Amino acid sequence: MTEERTLGQLVADASRELSELVRYEIALAKVELSRSVQRGAAAGGLFAAAIYLVSLAVILITIAAAFGLVEAGLPPWAALLVVAGVELLIALVLALIGRSRISKMRPPERAIRTTRESLESLRRAARDGTREP
């Protein structure tokens, strides 16, 4: 013999099961995010090591260029100034290009517009819903 449940019991069961489902989904998201964070941290460490080694290489190339200019006949102080000047000029060009690209950045206009439209729709629905008897 099957026992029939009331509507209230069915709603309570559905609510409890929905809460349980949400908890499981959150637990799954935490596990997935944890793995992603670990991978991201490892990748970040590798990038940091690469940047460090490139920085050392740039320093060595700078010294080698200065020595090359000294061998070409420039006094050491002049060779270092020429190399430093070239590097500063390259840095200036890169900074100007970066500034130009930043000035072309725009806010996410489509996302802002659709969000405003959604909020307005929700406000209208709430306003219309409160007017009904």
Domain ranges of the chain: 1-73, 76-133
Each residue of 60-103: pLDDT tens digit? 999 999 999 999 999 999 999 999 999 999 999 999 999 999 98
pLDDT of amino acid 85: 97
Taking 80 as the threshold, does the pLDDT of residue 131 lie above it? no
**pTM: predicted TM-score of the whole model, two decimal places:** 0.54
Each residue of 116-127: pLDDT tens digit? 888 888 888 777
Taking 80 as the threshold, does the pLDDT of residue 110 lie above it? yes
Structure tokens given for 128: 């219309």
DSSP H helices, 1-133, are: 7-71, 76-103, 109-131
CB crowding 37-69: b at 16 or more within 10 Å, else e: eeeeeeeeeeeeeeeeeeeeeeeeeeeebbeeb
Amino acid at 117: E
What rounded mean pLDDT belongs to the chain? 88
CA dist 49 to 42, 52, 55, Å? 11, 5, 10
Taking 50 as the threshold, does the pLDDT of residue 133 lie above it? no
